[in-house]
Structure 1
Amino acid sequence: MAIREIVKHPNEVLETPCKTVTEFDRQLAVLLDDMHETMIEADGVGIAAPQIGVSLRVAIVDFQEGQEPIEMINPELALFEGKETDIEGCLSFPGIFGEVERHGRIKIKAQERDGSWYELEAEGYEARAILHEMDHLDGVLFTSKIEKYVTQEELDELIRQQEEEDSL
């Protein structure tokens, strides 16, 4: 496994729809392992292959310690419901945060590293993270969906308030 360099905006690979994965081999497994290690090192909750310069429909979401990461190869959105607005950031846009509206509940169909298909239902933050990474695979950047930008100071204050509420 290796930590790869994260591609920062502007870069054409971030705005180009990715190719479908057709080879489920050792090279794909290495890519997935490298992506996960890179994401962890960068303190992210998700990463898509174009963010490390690889134009393939591969993404990972991993934000709950103790759970296996969600590896998505050739993901497709099968069902979506509701709308929720929350703050997002992106490893390819360091220091930029904004309010983005996304579906609150989703169902996806995707492939495992061995090529087998699975379905996954998600809601809330997990759904948001999955949709953010799936957008990367279509060359769609979260900045194109931001309704209101949020400064680092505003984000820090919101986090502090949330931590206070959680401790009550």
Structure 2
Amino acid sequence: MTHRPVIKNPSDLLRKKSEVISKEELASEEIQTLIDDLLDSMRLENGIGIAAPQIGAHKRIIIVDDGKGPAAYVNPEIIARSIRKGHFIEEGCLSVPGIWGYVTRHKAVKIRALTREGERVTLKVKDLTSVIFQHEIDHLDGILFIDKADTYTRHPGM
């Protein structure tokens, strides 16, 4: 595994849409190494989530640590959302250091993705884990939490 530095905002690399990964590509050494590098980078940065664009790879891969340990999700998509929305947790981002705030998010979401082994999974997540998935999937579409923040709680300009 290799620690790849996390790209910091502002950077055009964080604004680029990521590419879907085929099952064949998922099995490649290149993609498996990328997943290992994401895990390593997230651990070293003390994160609870990271997306491939944050280390310069525009592939649809995220890592989410739901408190039971980090797991990779490939081509994740939100297939259902709770009606209830709100500010459930103060958000920060490894790519936007020093800035924290609240984003209106769905309390619960249903996710469909592939595991790193290529197994299709469907997950129902809520609360913090729901926020992490929504935040990381946004990265895959070139969206940062600061684009959606309703209120900043900490900001260098405050």
The match for 1:127 is: 130
Secondary structure of 1:139's counterpart equals coil
The alignment covers a number of residue pairs equal to: 151
Max Rg structure: 1
The match for 1:75 is: 76
Secondary structure of 1:31's counterpart equals helix
Instruction: For 1:94 and 1:35, locate their aligned partners in 2 and report how far apart those are by CA, in whole Å.
Output: 18
Please state how far the C-alpha of 1:63 moved relative to its aligned partner.
4.5
The one-letter code matched in structure 2 to 1:6 is V
The match for 1:163 is: none
Q: Hey, which bits of structure 1, 4+ residues long, moved more than 3 A?
A: none
The match for 1:89 is: 92
Please state how far the C-alpha of 1:99 moved relative to its aligned partner.
1.0
* Residues 20-29 or 118-127, more deviating: 20-29
Please state how far the C-alpha of 1:119 moved relative to its aligned partner.
0.5
Instruction: For 1:134 and 1:151, locate their aligned partners in 2 and report how far apart those are by CA, in whole Å.
Output: 23
Counterpart selection for 1:98 from 98, 101, 104: 101
Instruction: For 2:2 and 2:32, locate their aligned partners in 1 and report how far apart those are by CA, in whole Å.
Output: 12
Please tell me whether residue 141 in structure 1 is matched to residue 144 in structure 2: yes
Secondary structure of 2:132's counterpart equals helix
Instruction: For 2:131 and 2:11, locate their aligned partners in 1 and report how far apart those are by CA, in whole Å.
Output: 23
Instruction: For 1:28 and 1:5, locate their aligned partners in 2 and report how far apart those are by CA, in whole Å.
Output: 17
Alignment of 1:44-55 (within 5 A): 44-55=47-58
Secondary structure of 1:44's counterpart equals coil
The one-letter code matched in structure 2 to 1:47 is I
Please state how far the C-alpha of 1:28 moved relative to its aligned partner.
1.3
Q: TM-score, with normalisation over the residues of structure 1?
A: 0.86
The match for 2:62 is: 59
The match for 2:19 is: 19
Instruction: For 2:106 and 2:73, locate their aligned partners in 1 and report how far apart those are by CA, in whole Å.
Output: 18
The one-letter code matched in structure 2 to 1:52 is I
Secondary structure of 1:131's counterpart equals helix
Q: TM-score, with normalisation over the residues of structure 2?
A: 0.91
Greater helix content: 1
- Which string of whole-angstrom CA distances, capped at 9 and with x for unpartnered residues, describes residues 124-152 of structure 1? 00000011000000111100111111127
- Which string of whole-angstrom CA distances, capped at 9 and with x for unpartnered residues, describes residues 54-89 of structure 1? 00000001141xx24231100111111011203100
Q: CA RMSD in A?
A: 1.4
